[in-house]
Amino acid sequence: MKLIKFLFKAILMIAVLAVVALLTLPLWFGPVVKSVANAVAPKVVQTDFNLGVLSLNPYSGRFELGDMQLANPQGYSVKYAVTVGDIVFDCEPLSLATDVIHIEEITVKDVFVSYVSGGENNVNNFKQIQYNVAGGKEKYEQAQAEKESAAKLEAPEAKRGGEKPAKEKPAKKVIIDRLTISGLKLQLGILPISLPSITLTDIGRKEGGATLADAWQQIVDGVLSAAGAVGDQAK
């Protein structure tokens, strides 16, 4: 089940990043970032990457990302780590200027994610991509160790009797009326799994708006609940 949860998080990460883009980026974001991504991303991940569709229209409240392929590094039996057919966000435009963003619908279609082992380090493909981004296994492990050390040192000042931290600006919140995922396929080693369509509704509505982290968790919990049988199938 931990493996299935990891794969769903990999898929949902794409959607969450798209939400962030929808909330913060200007109209020219689409064509500029699409060109930059196709030019720079392959050098960063050290494997093939292509983004065919990326558009944002804040006036209509629509964001679309699609025809994306991220290849696995050399040494893996499956060609792609992730492919995305289409992810579309439709939101209420006027809500973009408020503290609670109202997203009317998110549609995710034809997403493929593989989880396979291989390569020089005999690790899973996502770990190898992380190594590539960090500049190698040693640099990745060093960065992780530094991050863990920093987290241990970040005890709240209030607990240590120090000055109270300054109040942070409240984070943007979201309400998602409907999330639909269809055409979702996973490749676990040699085992291919096709999942049924999943629909979640009223994410963040009870709270009057959920932070992105809380919305993420509600989505993950909902998807895992709807796809509970996948754990047995993977075994």
Measured in degrees and rounded to the nearest 5, phi and psi for residue 66 equal: -165, 175
Interatomic CA distance for residues 235 and 230, integer angstroms: 9
- Indicate the pLDDT class of residue 209, thresholds 50, 70 and 90: very high
Q: Which residue shows structure tokens 């999942």? A: 195
Task: Dump pLDDT digits (tens) for 61-70.
Answer: 888 888 999 9
Of residues 147 and 58, more confidence is placed in 147
Q: Over range 62-86, report the average pLDDT.
A: 92
The model carries a pTM of 0.74
Tell me the pLDDT tens digit for each residue of 167-199.
666 778 999 999 998 998 888 888 888 888 889
Predicted pLDDT at 97: 83
Tens of pLDDT along 124-175? 999 999 999 899 999 999 988 888 888 777 655 545 555 555 566 677 899 9
> Are 79 and 50 within 8 A, CB to CB?
no
Percent of the chain with pLDDT over 70: 75
Q: Which residues lie closer than 8 Å to 86 by C-beta, 6 or more apart? A: 53, 64, 65, 66, 67, 107, 108, 109, 110
The two most distant CA atoms of the chain are separated, in Å, by 55
What integer is the mean pLDDT of 100-118?
Answer: 92
Residue holding tokens 């492990």?
A: 141
Res 22: pLDDT: 47
Q: Residue 183 is encoded by which pair of tokens?
A: 């055409």
